[in-house]
């Protein structure tokens, strides 16, 4: 396994990061089986594990904590988790406020059964909270020894830049990493997010290299899709083969499968190798549900995409283009709140 420095933190991490979103009730409810995958990844040289408090309502963190405790190798692992989404019922149990982050980090430490978190990430922006408030509490958590570094996840480029500017202006610690969605089918971050991360010396760990399964080889054009199981059950519209957006994704996946065969690898191996070719990317999050999925993706660790292969990928999906909206659980208020993009009716006329 190759290792790269995570931005300017000085922390060395494996170029594969084990993602654990599928560990727990949403994916694999077998704790022992999930722990075996974690141990197998560590044995293969993976020292970077990513989870979040909201994955299976905290169950993923519990699984990771138990697995690390059983391994006796906690000190070898760079452990990352996230905060932002609603946890349980009631008010003030989500977002990026000092009040909530202070509570949430303690809950994550308990579930993970650890004294510190190596990388604590803000899962999404929160436009109800001043970014200065968020950076302030995260810096305090570093000073308290509860986290070692902190970063953002799925932030637009302009909000990454704003956070860096506020940190400098106010003398606060800053986001050291960004975790964006990035795959051959979702290349939008190439336009601004990745260059912005490079500009500020941020480490980048990317998620969903298999494009929610469309690059796993499981879904093919002209084939029926069972919308009652797996990820399709959670979001049927994303997988319904009759929807034009999905038809476009399936057509691209078929062409990419041909490219993979031509260069002697599988489609998933091609998909996972692609983000690692970008100079901004530190590590790619691999999120298996089963041991078989992990083993299949691990075989692609040595796949190198030469310029001719990358040129062919550019022909299928041009740089900076998203064939679908990769973040299906959050949109900026500027798009969802009509009052933010529509003047009052009596002010819309030019004269």
Residue 54: burial class (beta carbons within 10 Å; 0-12, 13-18, 19+): buried
Q: Is 324 a catalytic residue?
A: no
The single residue listed with the structure tokens 């996840």 is 153
Question: Do 130 and 164 meet the contact criterion of CB atoms below 8 Å apart?
Answer: no
Alpha helices in 78-130 (DSSP H): 98-112
Task: Give the separation between CA 191 and CA 196, rounded to whole angstroms.
Answer: 9
The single residue listed with the structure tokens 């469309």 is 214
Alpha helices in the chain (DSSP H): 31-43, 59-71, 98-112, 131-143, 157-170, 193-199, 230-234, 236-239, 244-263, 267-276, 291-298, 307-316, 333-336
Q: Give the distance, in angstroms, between the CA of residue 106 and the centroid of all CA atoms in the same chain.
A: 22
Question: 55, 182, 219, 324: which is the annotated catalytic residue?
Answer: 55
State the CB neighbour count (10 A cutoff) for residue 32. 10
Residues annotated as part of the active site: 55
């Amino acid at each position: 396994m190759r290792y790269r420095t995570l931005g300017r933190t000085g922390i060395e991490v494996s170029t594969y990061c084990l993602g654990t979103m599928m560990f727990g009730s949403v994916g694999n409810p077998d704790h022992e089986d999930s722990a075996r995958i974690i141990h197998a990844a560590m044995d293969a040289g993976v020292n970077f594990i990513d989870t979040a408090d909201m994955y299976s309502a905290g169950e993923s963190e519990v699984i990771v904590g138990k697995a690390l405790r059983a391994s006796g190798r906690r000190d070898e692992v760079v452990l990352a988790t996230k905060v932002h989404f609603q946890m349980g019922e009631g008010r003030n149990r989500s977002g990026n406020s000092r009040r909530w982050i202070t509570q949430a980090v303690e809950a994550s430490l308990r579930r993970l059964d650890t004294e510190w978190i190596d990388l604590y990430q803000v899962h999404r922006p929160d436009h109800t909270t001043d970014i200065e408030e968020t950076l302030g509490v995260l810096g305090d958590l570093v000073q308290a020894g509860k986290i070692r570094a902190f970063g953002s996840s799925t932030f637009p480029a302009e909000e990454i830049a704003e956070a860096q500017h506020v940190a400098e202006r106010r003398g606060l610690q800053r986001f050291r990493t960004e975790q964006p969605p990035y795959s051959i089918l979702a290349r939008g971050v190439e336009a601004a997010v990745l260059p912005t991360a490079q500009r500020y010396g941020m480490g980048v760990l990317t998620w969903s290299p298999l494009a929610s399964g469309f690059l796993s080889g499981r879904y093919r054009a002209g084939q029926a899709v069972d919308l009652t199981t797996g990820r399709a059950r959670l979001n049927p519209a994303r997988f319904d083969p009759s929807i034009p957006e999905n038809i476009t994704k399936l057509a691209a996946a078929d062409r990419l499968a041909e490219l993979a065969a031509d260069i002697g690898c599988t489609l998933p191996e091609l998909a996972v190798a692609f983000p690692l070719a970008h100079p901004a990317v530190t590590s790619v999050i691999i999120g298996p549900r089963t041991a078989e999925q992990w083993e299949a993706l691990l075989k692609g660790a040595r796949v190198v995409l030469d310029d001719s292969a990358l040129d062919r990928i550019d022909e299928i999906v041009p740089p900076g283009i998203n064939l679908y909206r990769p973040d299906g659980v959050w949109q900026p208020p500027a798009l969802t709140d009509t009052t933010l993009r529509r003047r009052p009716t009596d002010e819309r006329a030019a004269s």
